[in-house]
Amino acid sequence: MHDNATGRMRLHARLTGLGLAAAILGELMLAGRTTVGSAAGQTRLVVLDAAPPGDALTRTALDHIIAEPSHRLHTWLQFLARTAPADVAARMTADGLLRLPGRRPSRRRAPVDVNIAAWPGGRVNLAIQRREPLSVQDSVLLGLLVATGGSRLVLWEQNPRYLSDSITALPAPLQELIAQTEAAVGDSIISRR
Amino acid sequence: MSVTERRAGAVSAALAQDRLGVPSVVFFVISAAAPLTVIGGSVTAAYAATGVTGVPLAFILLGAILGLFAVGYVTMARYVVNAGAFYAYTAKGLGRPVGVATAWVALLAYNALQVGLYGMLGTAAQPLIAGWFGSSPPWWVIGLGAWVLTGVLGLMRVDVNGKVLSVLLLTEIALVVVFDIADLINPAASGYSLDVFAPSNLLVPGIGAVVAICSASFAGFESSVVFSEETKDPGRTVPIATYVALAVISGLYAVSSWAMTVPIGSDKIVETSREQSSALLFNLAGQHLGATIATIGSFLFVTSLFAALIAFHNTISRYVFALGRERVLPETFGRTSPRTGAPISGSLAQSVIGLVTIVIYAIFGLDPVVQLFFTVGSFGGLGLLMMLAATSISVLVFFAKSPNEENAWRTRVAPGISSVLLIVVIVLVMANFDTVLGVAPDSPLRWIMPAVYFVAMGLGVMWGLTLRANRPKVYANIGRGAQAAVGGTK
């Protein structure tokens, strides 16, 4: 989430990292590769389908989860958050969505097509405005925006009722992912470093 | 080694890279206690305001009591989410309504400790500014300047960077040690005396006031457990760091407050402290080491006060944030600034309290050192002692009612002794609260001020019970901090 004109990050780097880490796990969950389960009193990720996903980013994440199944969901968020912003940017560049900074004065990557970049946010905003239900994928996006605090930057209308309704309409594992993200964001704010 | 074996620790290894060891945690804890602030400010204030010379002994005794307290505290920390906050312990040990009561006491006490520093900072900076520019504005103008900076840095979520902090802290400690040595090799005509360590010089009327300001001096040591999730080996790193930090700070405080009496004579220390106030430490250094060193010392004293202001400000805004996340405080306090990740409402609320205090003290022309730093700081010290006692009792109750494999020393003996001692200390402080406030023994204020805490506790318990009746989901999450977002699982 960057400023249109300056390209400066509008959401704090640690929160962006956690949000994108959760988004990677969300992709794996939406693709039916993993779900959330409980073991030894902890919330963990459970692998449902070990078949490698098509793209390198989620494939690497799934490989890690298969190799070390005993970590808490919280630990996965922290682990993936370290590299998620760079990894996601690399994937978007590879997919032709972002272009490298080149000689741009800000030296940041920029969207190739501004309309494509603005579309998911616009889609969610329009749905909120029209009080239409969101797709599962967009509900997860909205949930993670709320969890990281980014919702107050990109949503045109703050409608707590709509937000909580669309999150509670999600399947339980995705709700848990959003709740864990919110908790991880809160912990990173309370933590002194 | 097979591929899977080699990969087995990849996640832990990656996360362990930026984990903390014992020295880092010790640094954080000692810097939270702000040693130069205590030795330059609290010690002279204690001698001056109480007239009691047993200050060094008080530091040793309190260090020992806190050491005993810490045994149970660090043990229970492993079972508590949101471990940095005392109310998380009392909510778990003594019930959630008591948790809310503790949280209210914490907000009062930490705010008192924070705003008290404005008075000292304003006063301590005056001679420096006068030295540079010929004249100095009143203390409250400087206090307001520090207030603006603290508020802005709080909103930007600038914690003084770990490395800067380490350099400042090491310089502070080195300076204190040099000052101590200079004091010790220049004894007064009466020679060396260990009077100040004699129990008969502490067990006098006014002891409670000494204990209150000395307790306030330790504020911040409790932050060690915040790092348990970020240390290499939480089971070892946090306890060791806590004990080391307590030993270092109580030792440093005791030796320095004694060393200060050596060139003056323990019989004249009270009188001299009253005349020179917080300048005493640096005046002594000026006599023995020259004006330059003394000026460096005064400058570092001001930066140390400023660092302490920011540290307490951030502690409070995080406390408020955690309570907002639990919905114990209104939801808006659980919000953050997206760009900086600062707990924005908590930070603003703390700034409002700081501003109101400075303005009131300026309008009524109250004394910034005695009536703000000492009195309000000691009031905060009393609140800290109440939280410590409640936490210590919570440790006892928690381990008594939940099965565990910890030994009796950690779960029963040490917490039992420290609970009793802390209650004794609280009784002493309350008995001497007239000295803390500097009022006549029959002044109603001496009862009204401590009563503020009990009112806060009563309101806290009532709010806790209201939540239980009306908002059971919020009630269930009391004490869980940011983890309130997730239900009962970890």
Phi, psi of B403 (to 5 degrees): -65, 140
pLDDT of residue A7: 55
What is the C-alpha R_g of chain A? 17
Structure tokens belonging to residue A84: 């998620």
Q: How confident is the model at residue A8 (pLDDT cuts 50, 70, 90)?
A: low
Q: How confident is the model at residue A2 (pLDDT cuts 50, 70, 90)?
A: low
What is the C-alpha R_g of chain B? 22
Whether the CB-CB separation of B476 and B121 falls below 8 Å is answered with no
Contact B481 A190 (CB under 8 A): yes
Give me the helix-helix angle, A172-190 and A13-30, nearest 10°.
160
Q: Cα separations (Å) of B3 from B6, B7, B8?
A: 5, 6, 9
Under 8 Å CB pairs connecting chains A and B tally to 115
- Distance (Å) from the alpha carbon of A183 to chain B's nearest alpha carbon: 5
Query: CA-to-CA distance for A164 and A159, rounded, in angstroms?
Result: 9
Q: Is B28 helix (H, G, I), strand (E, B) or coil?
A: helix
Contact A186 B159 (CB under 8 A): no
Enumerate the residues of chain B whose CB falls inside 8 A of the CB of residue A168: none
Whether the CB-CB separation of B320 and A181 falls below 8 Å is answered with no
Cβ within 8 Å of residue B69, ≥6 positions away:
B388, B391, B392, B414, B415, B418, B422
Q: Report the residue from B227, B230, B335 with minimal CB separation from A149.
A: B335
- Distance (Å) from the alpha carbon of A13 to chain B's nearest alpha carbon: 8
The 10s digit of each residue's pLDDT in B135-177 is 999 999 999 999 999 999 888 876 555 677 778 888 999 999 9
CA dihedral B16, B17, B22, B24 (to 10 degrees): -130
pLDDT of residue A179: 96
Say if A67 is an interface residue toward chain B (CB within 8 Å).
yes
pLDDT of residue A192: 61
- Distance (Å) from the alpha carbon of A161 to chain B's nearest alpha carbon: 14
pLDDT of residue B6: 41
The 10s digit of each residue's pLDDT in B28-55 is 888 878 899 999 999 999 999 999 999 9
Query: CA-to-CA distance for B359 and A124, rounded, in angstroms?
Result: 47
Contact A75 B230 (CB under 8 A): no
Phi, psi of B189 (to 5 degrees): -55, -30
pLDDT of residue B159: 59
pLDDT of residue B366: 95
- Cα angle: B449, vertex B382, B446; to 5 degrees: 30
Indicate whether A77 pLDDT > 80. yes
- Cα angle: B337, vertex B331, B395; to 5 degrees: 100
Strand partners, B20: B231
pLDDT of residue B14: 84
Strand partners, B300: none
Contact A183 B484 (CB under 8 A): yes
Strand partners, A44: A37, A72
Contact B490 A43 (CB under 8 A): yes
Which of B198, B159, B120, B109 shows the shortest CA–CA distance to B379?
A: B109
Cα atoms in the 13 Å half-sphere on the side-chain side of B459: 11
Mean pLDDT on A141-149? 93
Contact A75 B338 (CB under 8 A): no
Q: Which of A69-73, A85-89, A162-166, B57-61 has the highest mean pLDDT?
A: B57-61
Say if A43 is an interface residue toward chain B (CB within 8 Å).
yes
Say if A76 is an interface residue toward chain B (CB within 8 Å).
yes
CA dihedral B431, B433, B439, B441 (to 10 degrees): -10
Cβ within 8 Å of residue A162, ≥6 positions away:
A128, A131
pLDDT by residue, tens only, chain B of 490 residues: 334 334 447 888 888 777 888 888 888 888 878 899 999 999 999 999 999 999 999 999 999 999 999 999 999 998 988 888 899 999 999 999 999 999 999 999 999 999 999 999 999 999 999 999 999 999 999 999 999 999 998 888 765 556 777 788 889 999 999 999 999 999 998 888 898 999 999 999 889 999 999 999 999 899 888 887 778 787 889 999 999 999 999 999 999 999 999 999 999 999 999 999 999 999 999 999 999 999 999 999 999 999 889 889 988 998 999 999 999 999 999 988 888 888 999 999 999 999 999 999 999 999 999 999 999 999 999 999 999 999 999 999 999 999 888 999 999 999 999 999 999 999 999 999 999 888 889 999 899 999 999 999 999 999 999 999 999 999 999 999 999 988 654 4
Whether the CB-CB separation of B145 and B250 falls below 8 Å is answered with no
Contact A186 B322 (CB under 8 A): yes
Say if A40 is an interface residue toward chain B (CB within 8 Å).
no
- Distance (Å) from the alpha carbon of B413 to chain A's nearest alpha carbon: 30
- Distance (Å) from the alpha carbon of A166 to chain B's nearest alpha carbon: 16
Query: CA-to-CA distance for A41 and B388, rounded, in angstroms?
Result: 30
pLDDT of residue B489: 42
Enumerate the residues of chain B whose CB falls inside 8 A of the CB of residue A193: 159, 162, 230
Contact B322 A10 (CB under 8 A): no
Enumerate the residues of chain A whose CB falls inside 8 A of the CB of residue B157: 12
Enumerate the residues of chain A whose CB falls inside 8 A of the CB of residue B333: none
Query: CA-to-CA distance for A117 and A96, rounded, in angstroms?
Result: 12
Cβ within 8 Å of residue B478, ≥6 positions away:
B87, B91, B96, B99, B100, B326, B328, B464, B467
pLDDT of residue B30: 87
Q: Report long-range pairs for A112-119 (Cβ below 8 Å, ≥24 apart).
A: A114/A4
pLDDT of residue B12: 82
First to last CA, chain A: 23
- Distance (Å) from the alpha carbon of B158 to chain A's nearest alpha carbon: 10
